[in-house]
Structure 1
Amino acid sequence: MASRPRTLLVNPPLWNVYAPHLAVPLLTAALRDHGWPVTAFDLGAVHLRWMLTAETVAGLCERYDRADRLGLDPAAVDEARLLLPSVCDGVEAAWAVVHDPAGLHDHDAFARVARTLGNALVCHSAAFDGFHCDLRSNRQHYSERSSASVLAATRDRDRNPYRWAFETLLPPRLADPGLGMVGVSVSADTQLIPAMTVAALVREHRPDLRIVMGGNYITRIAGRWRGRHPFFDLVDDFVLYEGEDAIVALCENLFEGGTRPVPGRSSLTPDGRLDFAPARDVDLATLLAPDFDDYDLDAYLAPGPVLPVLASRSCAWNCAFCSIPFASNRYRHRDATAVVDEMQHLARRYGSTSFMFVDEIMTQRTLREVGAELVRRDAGLHWYGETRFSAGLDDDLAATLHRSGCRRLDLGLESYNQRVLDLMRKGTRIEHIEPGVEALLRAGVPVHLFCITGFPGETVEEARRTAAFVERTLRRSTEEFGLPYSTSVNGPFILDLLSPVGEHPEQFGITVLHPGPDEDLALSVDYIAASGLTGSEAAVLAAEADALPDTGRTAPLQHRGLIGESEEYAFLRCVLDTGVPPGRPTAEPAVFTPAPGDLLRLADGVTWRVSADTRTVGLYAAGADSILRLPSRWTGLLSELDKGVGPGRGDDGRWDDDVLDVLCTLWTFGFLADPQRHATPLPAGDMPGLRVRATPGWRRSVDPDTGRARLTSLVTGREVALNVHAFLLWLDHAGGGQPAAADRDAVADMIRVELLQAYLGDDPVTTEAASGRETGREDA
């Protein structure tokens, strides 16, 4: 009897780089249970590991050398060349540290890891036109909202970074002569271009193979097709909704002459018409444990692994803003005994005691039954999941959850206003929210609060009430309950066309602004609300509510190239009781007072290079993780400082004002060594001779209604929020000068957070010196 063809199941980037996704392991288990050969390939994890190697990062230089032909941003390439040496030296060690649970205890070491990995992604971003690489979504030249754009991306290795990478990573997986089918799972829009790129390469290398694509996102976009879609040029079959039964039936039909329907299959008839088979629910009582045997579970960007499990499918509610019920059939739950059996099986097989429930919602019934079963068995496992607020979230349930190993619970707060919750059709009573939070915190279970700002009809006051409640809750978690691990996220309302709001906008007082035909895949759209916040106002308020204090964005892996603290890290920190990383150290406001004739030098680890393209000199300080760009006329000064030789002084024995400005900038951002302690505390009281100037490289965003400003440093990535008075004061010192005594406290605060640089001189900076000598402020 001939052997059955093998199926290659692919999970493409970019979904979750911190833990494996559940879809492919579930399909793998189903095929193996029915005797079908299969190989599971987490291309997302393999791609990330490949990106974060010294060899791959060093190879980006070949693309930098062709920057003009590839249309790369000269400033980005210049920055990447500055970062490359430190990245290549440290990226392998950084990978090792991030996989060691002990690394979560050493916050300083982890910050260095974040810096190195973040800089590696900055280097990748610079290598492609229009590419910005982080760990949540990779924005690139091509748009996943357009079928034509997606198909164009699959052919372009110069501007599609996935095409460039997959040409190396994918062909070895296609060499097996026994291969008969390639299946690709697409759960999010961020995976669409990589997934279709996989399909294109399979077509080129193995045109004999059958290509099938499924997953939640495919269900969402392919469910709207009413005729042949251009994606059928690359894909033979699309499977909508659940795939465990469908993948087995498809193999039987394709390779053994089977005739039973393939649930959810969307394919073309011989005459080119679209044919769709009705979907069918998978019986969760027969669901097999996911099979991770083919995965390298050390390939994810967190110690662990934190393994995904599920206790239910779909959602028991129908919130107005959410499209989950559309894309996942009806709600069903599994028996708690089967769920805990599976968790213990996975713990034994893969050596992990950490789990995340990927249920869209864990109902109270699920929480109680699974929690009680884990307690009864004394399983010794830790887990987290997502639920909602309701009356039954009390002390008894919270205590059971903690005893069962729950060390984080995500909760859909959305709003702390009953009127808005009712508009959302949330089914939540506001009087249940605070008691539920307190019960969990008393039991030792940190919370994560999801918030939405700007649901149609919400007012500014209501949005700020939610933000105030969240701020108070997080503060109480740390100060009152000793749990520093609680977190929150606040995002603006996004109109999903498949949600109740999108399907019936007139019921919510909004007018949908449908995208043009060039965005035929768009599921989120703009709108006009008859009342309440506009979309732009909601975005501002959400950013304001989600802002970190002026000590900067310091969560692990929060960097130019990386996103902030992931839920896996927050969970593991609580499990291991590591504490949370401290914020950026708050320094006393200080001034720079170099004495004429003193020898000055660049700090250790500073590299710099002159860019002919940008006519600037760029510097990188590894210790401070700062990048600064100055006009190239300062190259001579940097050459002297590189040798440890003090710059020249004027005929009167004083530093020139413009030289002092540059030296102060270098010191402020960590580029200048200070062995002789030229940095001194800001004098108390009167400040004769104090000169201040706005430090270079701050990008500002101002709310025209309130005058509040958010400043982002292009040098360090730090963010600072300013009220109207502070913002005007900062603007007033853009050209330099002496601050008024009445402004001392505000000036001291701005010096502390590096908005102003300061040094002591013999007399105030003159208008001529301030305006006629360029310090590189606009170029930084």
Structure 2
Amino acid sequence: MQSGFTQSIAFARGRALASGPVVLLINPPLWSAHAPYLAIPLLAGVLREKGKPVRCLDLNIEFLDLVVSARGLSEIGKLLERRTAKDIIERQAIEQAKVVCASAIARVDSARAILRSFDSLTNHHEFNQAKITMRDALRVISASFDGLRFDLTTEYFDYLAPSSAAIRRAATTPLSLYRWAFEKIIPDAIADPDIGLVGISISAETQLTPAVTAATLIKALRPNLKIVVGGNYTTRMMSAWSGELHPFHDIFDYCILYEGEEALPALYERLFERRLGPIPGLSEVIAGNTVHTPPVKTALKHAAKPAFDLIPLEKYFSPGPVLPVFSSRGCAWKCAFCSIPYASGSFRRRTASEVAAEIAELARLHGSRYFMFVDEIMTIRSLTDVSRELIAIGSPIKWYAETRFSQQWTQDIADELYRAGCRRLNFGLESYNQRILDLMEKEVQVEYIEDNLEICLKAGIAVHLFAILGFPGETLEEAARTVAFCERVVERSRTVYGNAYSSWGASRFTVDVHSPVGKDPERFGVRLVEPPENHDLSLSREIDYVHSGGSIFEQVGADMNPRARNMSFISQVSRFHRSLSTASEEEAFLRTCLGTGLPGVARRSLSVWERLPERNIALSPEVTICHTQRSVLNASVHAHTVIYDPRTGYLIELPIPDLNLDPLRIKQSHESVVQCLAPHIGGQADETVAALCRFGMFDLSEPLAAVDFDSPNFSVIVAEAHVHTQPSCPGNRVLVSGITGVASELDGPGLLLWEAIASPDGLTAGHLKSLMDIAVDKARFTGDVRTLLECGLAFAREDRTRVAADAERLIAAAG
């Protein structure tokens, strides 16, 4: 076991329970960092109602709370210093992490506090700074362990594959982030001798390696402690091993397939209360073979209240908390691409009055007004029945859910949902083509999709559209139609209904072995590629497109959606700046509820650069200086001195190794700073100092003047250095700043504007004024100029002396 600090876990024990061995329920990473997972509190509630002693270890959030903290990063930073790279790309990732490590350690605890506060949703500047810090922290974590790419929702290990052997190796290697963290958390968590059974929920593929790692460590510390696993992913994975010894038999003593409300208490009674008889849904090893006992359906009437008091809600990285609840289980449809019916069983509903009463009670107990329904799908009937009950009890809560398109949607229904607190609905669009919807067996008609969305938007409900691209048989034109429709809906939400919170996302079609396509590929006209023999955990299959009509994906990137090519270009230019933490559903929902607006890209102040040799400046104490063995922006270039501002994420590299910039932290004249740098970077010194001032890395003795477009207080607008360009759609161009990482796509008028700015003489104030006078859309024209300036792609410069400029303005004012 590695030395170092341990993470102290304080368990909330709840009310007194009957004596007996304690069940410890564990939710492993990697799950959401923004809201709790329902399964563990729900099972804890079931055990509590039956008088079984129970505790919860939300290992997911305890793990994140440890590694994304000043304490955790300080320890991880020591590992970073010892890392050696296998190749040039890994070396660059390590160098990038070293640039941000010290500032991330200094700022991460404050950033976490900001993200947990409702104030951050309205203070966009503060929120953006916190997100930059979190990005930097995740970069340090990723670079400190071999082959790891880590963010708050997914992880990737080079040494992992969908094979049990690879996961077993990952569970014991000291190179694993999970092993490193769990050795600091789990010993205290299982030290109590009263703990007699550990239950681990594995509901997603991202949780399998951490679950095996945790179980391996628990067995090493307490070999006789029984471990049972369950969850959706467990059910799908273990079903393949009926009649044979499964590969985790020595660390998982039992598996519960399908639902656990009946099986877990029954297993407890067998182990500790001498219960006899079969346990529904239990999978165990008997005489060297895996034996499954048939499951039973759980009755949802009078479902147990989730024991959210047993998990640390305050540690999640979003305000709220946004609590999960459910009104139904399973799905009444059997879409061709989906495996949910396989693992969730038949569709069942709770009574609406019980759901509404539970929400009101949870709101009272935990002080939350925000809820998410985690039903696989909420039918129109579920939505309306629950809404009427919430309205009847006068509940002030807000909520969101996932639903489907239907002929049953009416304006009255949507309005009623809004009155009941619904502020966002997720729709499984999948495709905006009837032929593809029919192939998917969606039982949805295109003719009412747009009407359904208009009804919701008119009621004030934001929508999110899920799309799937590349379903067998889909053409390029059909995929393009789906993308265009999604974009049109989001734009219409914003411009027609004033709702900026609608969104959409697309994923590539993959075959789940438990879906209808996976079970009967011939019916869908495809041939599946079997995985390698050692990939015994693989639950997905690739399609043999050579024998299945070809793939659209090579064309999708190049033709159907130029954004794919644009994003590849942007990523190459601004790899350092790319986010490792995307906006969560919970954040989008809370912004919708509170009307906070969207934070957008952090932008620099709109100011005029004026070179005054006598102006006093000093490098900001917040700015960090690093000496790297390789460029952090171009992996093929060697040693640099890097200047980084952790408040904005702005980065400027100087191609000089070991350049001592500490003297620049002392306030001195602009001219003195230029002279200090000139021996090292020659003629670039003046422009480098100017850029550092414009991007806020120098503290100025007096602020720069704000840009005035009506009475121009600048001579010319010119392009910033480090701006990269690429043609986009016909007549368009993408610009990316290597300093800020911000990208902007220009259409025809915007491109003409940029060509003037990027010319040797730049765009003079006089020329700008004449263009504004003849612009058809003056507001749009001014907005384009502002965007280029604020995004760090161009800057306004005053070339005249201050006296001459003031005199000209006085003359103009007198005239």
Per the alignment, residue 527 of structure 1 pairs with 543
**Is the CA contact (8 Å cut-off) linking 2:70 and 2:108 kept in structure 1?**
yes
Report the alpha carbon displacement of residue 567 of structure 1 after superposing the two structures with TM: 1.4
Q: Secondary structure at the match of 1:229?
A: coil
Q: How does 1:141-540 map to 2 (within 5 A)?
A: 141-143=158-160, 145-157=162-174, 159-226=175-242, 227-270=244-287, 272-529=288-545, 530-531=548-549, 533-538=551-556
The answer to whether residue 642 in structure 2 is matched with residue 618 in structure 1 is yes
1:202 partner SS: helix
Give the letter aligned to residue 387 of structure 1: T
Deviation at 1:750, TM superposition (A): 6.8
Q: Equivalents in 1 of 2:254, 2:378: separation in Å?
A: 32
- Give the corresponding residue for 2:104: 87
Matches within 5 A, 1:52-67: 52-67=68-83
**Aligned residue type for 1:625:** G
Contact 2:335–2:441 (8 Å) recurs in 1: yes
1:430 offset after TM fit, Å?
0.9
Q: Following the alignment from structure 1 to structure 2, what is the Cα–Cα distance between the partners of residues 478 and 544?
A: 23
Amino acid at match of 1:568: E
Greater shift, 101-110 or 325-334, is seen at 101-110
Aligned partner of residue 212 in structure 2, secondary structure: helix
Task: Give secondary structure in 2 for the equivalent of 1:519.
Answer: coil
Asked whether the 8 Å contact 2:674–2:689 carries over to 1, the reply is no
Residues 575 and 596 (structure 1), Cα distance of their counterparts in 2 relative to 1, 3 Å cut: closer
Indicate which of 568, 576, 581 corresponds to 2:594: 576
TM (normalized to structure 2)?
Answer: 0.81
Moved more, 61-70 or 715-724: 715-724
Per the TM alignment, residue 188 of structure 1 is displaced from its structure 2 partner at its CA by 0.6
Alpha-carbon separation, structure 2, partners of 1:531 and 1:719: 37
Partners of 2:283 and 2:726 lie apart in 1 by: 47
Indicate the SS of the match to 1:233. Answer: coil
Amino acid at match of 2:584: S
Q: Secondary structure at the match of 1:125?
A: helix
1:252–1:70: structure 2 CA closer, same or farther, 3 Å change rule?
A: farther
* CA distance in structure 1 between the aligned counterparts of 2:208 and 2:62, rounded to whole angstroms: 17
SS state at 2:140 partner: helix
Among 632, 635, 642, the alignment partner of 2:659 is 635
Alpha-carbon RMSD: 4.2
Provide the rounded CA distance (Å) in 1 between the counterparts of 2:389 and 2:710. 64
> In the aligned structure 2, how far is the partner of 1:165 from the partner of 1:417?
47
- Provide the C-alpha distance between the structure 2 equivalents of 1:298 and 1:171, rounded to a whole number of angstroms: 23
Question: 2:804: which partner in 1?
Answer: none
Secondary structure of the residue that 2:37 maps to in structure 1? Answer: coil
Deviations 1:341-390, CA, capped at 9 Å, x for gaps? 22122222222222111000001111121111112222222211100011
- Once the two structures are superposed, residues 409-445 of structure 1 have per-residue CA deviations (whole angstroms, 9 ceiling, x without a partner) of 1111112221221121111111111111111111121
CA distance in 1, matches of 2:235, 2:615: 69
The CA distance in 1 between the partners of 2:253 and 2:603, in whole Å, is 56
| Residues 727-738 of structure 1: pairs in structure 2 closer than 5 A | none
> What is the aligned counterpart of 1:23 among 39, 44, 48?
39
Q: For residue 772 of structure 1, what is the aligned residue in structure 2?
A: none
CA 1:484–1:174 in structure 2 vs 1: closer, same or farther (change >3 Å)? same
- Secondary structure of 1:518's counterpart equals coil
Amino acid aligned to 1:106: N
> Take 1:747 and 1:101, find their aligned partners in 2: how far apart are those partners?
33
CA distance in 2, matches of 1:522, 1:448: 30
What is residue 117 of structure 2 aligned with on the other side? 100
Range with greater deviation from structure 2 (382-391 or 621-630): 621-630
Q: Counterpart of 1:96 in structure 2: which amino acid? A: A
Q: Which amino acid is the alignment partner of residue 7 of structure 1?
A: V
Aligned residues with identical type, % of pairs: 38
Q: 1:151/1:702 Cα in 2 relative to 1: closer, same or farther (>3 Å)?
A: farther
- Deviation for aligned residue 1:502: 2.1
- 2:130 is matched with 113
Q: Deviations over 1:294-326 (max 9, x none)?
A: 111111111111111111111111111111111
8 Å CA contact 2:41–2:306 kept in 1: the answer is yes
Q: CA deviation at 1:661?
A: 5.9
Helix, strand or coil at the partner of 2:255: strand
Distance in 2 separating the partners of 1:680 and 1:404: 47
Which SS does the other structure have where 1:198 is aligned?
helix
Q: 1:637 and 1:9, CA in 2 relative to 1: closer, same or farther beyond 3 A?
A: closer
SS in structure 2 at match of 1:180: strand
* Whole-angstrom distance in 2 between the partners of 1:479 and 1:236: 57
Q: Aligned letter for 1:606?
A: V
SS in structure 1 of the partner of residue 150 of structure 2: coil
- What secondary structure, in the 3-state scheme, does the structure 2 residue paired with 1:510 have? coil
Structure 2 Cα separation of the partners of residues 252 and 41 of structure 1: 22
Q: Equivalents in 1 of 2:553, 2:236: separation in Å? A: 24
Shift of 1:756: 7.2
* Alignment match, 1:602: 619
> Unpaired runs of 5+ in structure 1?
763-780
Give the secondary-structure state (helix, strand or coil) at the position aligned to 1:288: coil
User: Aligned equivalents of 1:241 and 1:727: distance in 2?
Assistant: 57
8 Å Cα contact 1:409-1:447 kept in structure 2: yes
Distance verdict in 2 for CA 1:99–1:326, change over 3 Å: same
Letter in 2 for 1:418: Q
Number of residue-to-residue matches in the alignment = 746
Distance 2:286 2:121 in 1: 55
Distance in 2 (alpha carbons) for counterparts of 1:138 and 1:520: 20
Q: Is the 8 A contact 2:476 2:560 kept in 1?
A: no
Given candidates 28, 52, 60, the residue that maps to 1:44 is 60
> For the structure 1 residues 720 and 521, does the alpha-carbon distance in structure 2 shift closer, same or farther, using more than 3 Å as the test?
farther
Q: Comparing 720-729 with 419-428, which one deviates more in the overlay?
A: 720-729
Q: Is the 8 A contact 1:460 1:533 kept in 2?
A: no
Shift in alpha-carbon separation, 1:84–1:33, aligned structure 2, 3 A: same
**Which residue matches 1:776?**
none
Q: Distance in 1 between matches of 2:348 and 2:51?
A: 27
Give the superposition deviation at 1:51.
2.2
**TM-superposed deviation, 1:499:** 1.6
**Corresponding residue of 1:13:** 29
Which residue identity is paired with 1:169? I
SS of equivalent residue, structure 1 residue 635? coil
Counterpart residue type for residue 466 of structure 1: T
After superposing the two structures, state which structure 1 stretch, 499-508 or 206-215, moved more.
499-508
